[in-house]
A and B are shown apart, each in its own frame.
Chain A
């Protein structure tokens, strides 16, 4: 097995329709081992359908999928042995206690009894659930349920994990904790496919982001690459007085001028070269600059410009770092 050199997930030409509704319209993507790949898109973009296909719950209409080196169509059981899935709805047994849920997973993974117990205790500890291990999830908070769900996913030591909107509906603090748990997973060499409708989440966690809209990938890259794709990046320069403003405006070819606040907005792609060029010109004209800020577009701008419509409202702004 050369699993370390081949992609953890590779998808080509994935299509799926439900009746007349086309949900996935030819999706291609490659996820390198040990990385976090985020599928970003609004509700109805096809994120959950993609996860359901990749995790063997749904059969695609067309396309080929390899997960952890196994062909999904030919050897679904081998794929299942390699993956773990934490869905949008906490898939826990509400009548069993937290520990019993984990032991159930251990039994289904055919771990030896003592090994199952050890694994369950270790995961309870790691997810800070030891104190409520003997209680049923019905008494848990939303964040605790998600953590138990993720812990159950980890019992089988999967090499590829699918997280479908893992923080939807969580309060900002639980979301932070969940993010830490997710980062911790890649530190252990696990590959993660994460879907989210929160731009900030993708920005915070993902090595690469693919923007999914109406069943198609409209862009793919790192968060920085995506931000550079869209116009709207600019330098904001403020000057001590109107004379400086006028001089600078002349030197920079009359950019957008705000007389009242004595500032200029200079379009830029955000690269160091562009910044240096602007500074050189100002230097040449001997203009004093009071303040300089670089405004790069955030993923909201990216999404808007790529798809022509905004994402879901961002409720996690207060959690921004």
Chain B
């Protein structure tokens, strides 16, 4: 590459490809977004009354809705990231990634195209999920600063899970494996503070639930959206986990790509 402009140009080309593929294959996006929306409706309208009563003496369905939305948002992020693993694995198994690797293009653009595409897809997905939540009665009370901080944290968390998924997509030998591997990500909010407060869990599970990456992210998002005080330690842990996963995922994905795990 002789000029700096070319890697950016290649990344834009790859991003366009990613977005076009999403439009061509809308059922995947619908399936990925269907899951968090289904969970939202299920937990609010079926379990919400009972679970809300567990939140406190005055708790009800509306309180539970406010409680569960941040967890649903992280499931949305994880679910869309799963789609990324699938597309990356498709590229690798269909041989087009090998073709890209024999071309004099920016090496990074092949993967960043997927990551940028996922960021946009996630943003759209979060807006849709939030709209469903608002229709169900969710009334966030965040100020502009709170929204910006929440958005910033979600973007960082999305970058983290996306790079991890790119690596999982590359390490998978088949598209099927790629669609199963990151599934555990969408389950983690259940083993954290996504659906019930962690202090209601048995001690051994609570240790895991309190410190796994989703819990601090969900707690911080919840505080930001509801306008309650943000716990500094939790926020630091949320940013720390996200940065660590992003870095680890990026380094792993890059090394897999260079080693040619794509057959």
The 8 Å CB contact of B21, one of A78, A83, A93, A110, is A93
Which residues of chain A from 89 to 118 have a CB within 8 Å of any chain B CB? Answer: 89-96, 100, 104, 107-110
Q: How far is the CA of A94 from the CA of B17 in the complex (A)?
A: 12
Tell me whether B94 is interfacial, beta carbon within 8 Å.
yes
Given contacts A93-B17, A100-B20, A110-B9, contact A80 B99 (CB under 8 A): no
Q: How far is the CA of A85 from the CA of B24 in the complex (A)?
A: 26
Residues of A near B20 (CB, < 8 A) are 95-96, 100
Q: How far is the CA of A91 from the CA of B98 in the complex (A)?
A: 8
Residues of A near B173 (CB, < 8 A) are none
Q: How far is the CA of A123 from the CA of B25 in the complex (A)?
A: 26
**Interface membership of chain B positions 1-34, coded 1 if the CB is closer than 8 angstroms to chain A and 0 otherwise:** 1000010011001001100110011000000000
Residues of B near A92 (CB, < 8 A) are 94, 96
Q: How far is the CA of A95 from the CA of B18 in the complex (A)?
A: 10
Residues of B near A94 (CB, < 8 A) are 90, 94
Q: How far is the CA of A152 from the CA of B105 in the complex (A)?
A: 15
Tell me whether B58 is interfacial, beta carbon within 8 Å.
no
Q: How far is the CA of A96 from the CA of B19 in the complex (A)?
A: 11
Q: How far is the CA of A184 from the CA of B9 in the complex (A)?
A: 33
Given contacts A96-B20, A104-B17, contact A156 B103 (CB under 8 A): yes
Residues of B near A312 (CB, < 8 A) are none
Tell me whether A22 is interfacial, beta carbon within 8 Å.
no
The 8 Å CB contact of B102, one of A80, A90, A110, is A80
Whether the pair A93, B6 counts as a contact (CB closer than 8 A) is no
Which residues of chain B from 91 to 110 have a CB within 8 Å of any chain A CB? Answer: 94-96, 98-105
Whether the pair B260, A91 counts as a contact (CB closer than 8 A) is no
Given contacts A57-B98, A95-B24, contact A80 B260 (CB under 8 A): no
Whether the pair B25, A152 counts as a contact (CB closer than 8 A) is no
Given contacts A77-B1, A108-B13, contact A152 B260 (CB under 8 A): no
Q: How far is the CA of A95 from the CA of B103 in the complex (A)?
A: 20
Whether the pair A91, B9 counts as a contact (CB closer than 8 A) is no
Whether the pair A108, B94 counts as a contact (CB closer than 8 A) is no
The 8 Å CB contact of B95, one of A80, A91, A107, is A91
Whether the pair A96, B24 counts as a contact (CB closer than 8 A) is yes
Nearest Cβ on chain A to B73's Cβ, whole angstroms? 28
Residues of A near B1 (CB, < 8 A) are 77
**Residue of A57, A81, A90 with most chain B CB atoms under a 10 A cut-off:** A57
- Report the interface size for chain A: residues with CB under 8 A from the other chain: 28
Residues of A near B105 (CB, < 8 A) are 108
Q: How far is the CA of A57 from the CA of B1 in the complex (A)?
A: 18
Nearest Cβ on chain B to A192's Cβ, whole angstroms? 15
Which residues of chain B from 101 to 124 have a CB within 8 Å of any chain A CB? Answer: 101-105
Whether the pair A95, B95 counts as a contact (CB closer than 8 A) is no
Residues of B near A100 (CB, < 8 A) are 20
Tell me whether A58 is interfacial, beta carbon within 8 Å.
yes
Whether the pair A85, B99 counts as a contact (CB closer than 8 A) is yes
Nearest Cβ on chain A to B21's Cβ, whole angstroms? 5
Q: How far is the CA of A108 from the CA of B103 in the complex (A)?
A: 8
Nearest Cβ on chain A to B52's Cβ, whole angstroms? 43
Whether the pair A89, B21 counts as a contact (CB closer than 8 A) is no
Tell me whether A87 is interfacial, beta carbon within 8 Å.
yes
Residues of B near A57 (CB, < 8 A) are 98, 101-102, 260
Tell me whether A55 is interfacial, beta carbon within 8 Å.
yes
Residues of A near B21 (CB, < 8 A) are 93, 95-96
Whether the pair B24, A81 counts as a contact (CB closer than 8 A) is no
Q: How far is the CA of A156 from the CA of B17 in the complex (A)?
A: 18
Whether the pair B24, A80 counts as a contact (CB closer than 8 A) is no
Given contacts A57-B260, A100-B20, A110-B9, contact A93 B101 (CB under 8 A): no
Q: How far is the CA of A94 from the CA of B90 in the complex (A)?
A: 10
Whether the pair B98, A87 counts as a contact (CB closer than 8 A) is yes
Residues of B near A108 (CB, < 8 A) are 10, 13, 100, 103, 105
Which residue of A is nearest B110, CB measured?
Answer: A108
Whether the pair A107, B13 counts as a contact (CB closer than 8 A) is yes
Tell me whether A136 is interfacial, beta carbon within 8 Å.
yes
Residues of B near A80 (CB, < 8 A) are 102-104
**Residue of B21, B94, B102 with most chain A CB atoms under a 10 A cut-off:** B102
Whether the pair A55, B104 counts as a contact (CB closer than 8 A) is no
Residues of A near B103 (CB, < 8 A) are 80, 108-109, 156
Which residue of A is nearest B97, CB measured?
Answer: A91
The 8 Å CB contact of B17, one of A81, A91, A96, is A96
Q: How far is the CA of A143 from the CA of B115 in the complex (A)?
A: 33
Residues of A near B13 (CB, < 8 A) are 104, 107-108
Which residue of A is nearest B90, CB measured?
Answer: A94
Whether the pair A110, B99 counts as a contact (CB closer than 8 A) is no
Which residue of A is nearest B100, CB measured?
Answer: A108
Q: How far is the CA of A80 from the CA of B99 in the complex (A)?
A: 11
User: What are 16 residue pairs bridging A and B, where the CB atoms are less than 8 Å apart in the complex?
Assistant: A57-B101, A78-B104, A81-B104, A85-B98, A87-B98, A91-B99, A93-B21, A93-B94, A95-B21, A95-B25, A96-B21, A96-B24, A108-B10, A108-B105, A136-B24, A156-B103
A interface residues, Cβ below 8 angstroms from B: 55-58, 77-78, 80-81, 83, 85, 87, 89-96, 100, 104, 107-110, 136, 152, 156
Query: Which 3 residue pairs spanning A and B have beta carbons closest together?
Result: A91-B95, A80-B104, A91-B99
| Extra contacts besides A80-B103, A95-B21, A96-B17 (6): CB < 8 Å | A55-B102, A83-B102, A87-B95, A89-B94, A107-B13, A108-B100
